[in-house]
Amino acid sequence: MARKTEAILTSARTLFLERGYDATTLDDVAAASNVAKTTVYNNFRDKEHLFSEVIESITARSTVILAALEEPLFSDSPVEDRLIEFGNRLVTGVLQPSVIQLRRLAIAEAPRFPELVTRFWSHGPGRTTELLARALREADSRGELRVPDPNAAALVLAYTLLGAALDRALMVQGAHMSPSDITAHVDHSVAAFLRAYAR
């Protein structure tokens, strides 16, 4: 019983991410889930509710993804190494095609599902900079950096790292960065950040 619900949710996620909200048909969702359309309606009130649950389920999982970013941030290696490792994971993560698709979807449907997308933002991008701010505050108190305003500094570093790549990936199809492009960019960004916030 719950297996069907799960199957529907999974294929709905794939289809919504690939085609967007309007272009995704509930007939397609049913077919992709090997389920009758009626079953879709037995498990979800309507298309909007299905979409909401898809996004909510992704939002819920984002906590897990953030853990992978948190780890290098609070290790005992030098600040520079910590930030570079964090930067590499952040950029490679955010540039993954499915993540780009998700962002595109969220942005496109923000006017139609304001609260939903806001909640998604808070649990994803929002949390990331909070995390970084905490790490920077700690680095400051350890005397590794001089960061009087950790929140502002976290925004600076986070968006220095992925602003350009993100903006481009969202609009320019097939604008992939090679791993070496990424490390070069991360190195440059972290170096600039360290110069700006050195003790």
Partner DNA sequence: CTCATACTGTACTGGTCGGTCCAGTACAGT
Partner DNA sequence: ACTGTACTGGACCGACCAGTACAGTATGAG
Q: How far is the CB of 82 from a second copy (least distance, A)?
A: 18
* Nearer to DNA among residue 33 and residue 59 (C-beta): 33
Going by C-beta distance under 8 Å and a sequence separation of 6 or more, which residues neighbour residue 105? 16, 17, 20, 21
Q: How far is the CB of 13 from DNA (least distance, A)?
A: 15
**Range list of H helices, 95-149:** 97-109, 114-121, 127-141
Read off the tokens for 181.
């492009």
* Nearer to a second copy among residue 7 and residue 121 (C-beta): 121
Footprint of a second copy (CB under 8 A) = 20, 22-23, 104, 106-108, 110-111, 114, 117-118, 120-121, 125, 129, 149, 152-153, 155-156, 158-160, 162-164, 166-168, 170-174, 185, 188-189, 192-193, 195-197
Q: Which does 48 bind (CB under 5 to 8 A by kind): DNA, a second copy, none?
A: DNA
* Nearer to a second copy among residue 78 and residue 126 (C-beta): 126
Q: Which does 41 bind (CB under 5 to 8 A by kind): DNA, a second copy, none?
A: DNA
Q: Which does 52 bind (CB under 5 to 8 A by kind): DNA, a second copy, none?
A: none
What's the 3-state SS for 69-98?
HHHHHCCCCCHHHHHHHHHHHHHHHHCCHH
Half-sphere exposure of residue 89, counting CA atoms within 13 Å on the CB side?
16
Q: Which does 106 bind (CB under 5 to 8 A by kind): DNA, a second copy, none?
A: a second copy
Q: Which does 149 bind (CB under 5 to 8 A by kind): DNA, a second copy, none?
A: a second copy
Handedness of CA 72, 77, 126, 137 (dihedral sign): positive
* Nearer to DNA among residue 31 and residue 65 (C-beta): 31
Of 91, 55, 117, 86, nearest to 178 by C-alpha is 91
Residue 140: what residue type?
D
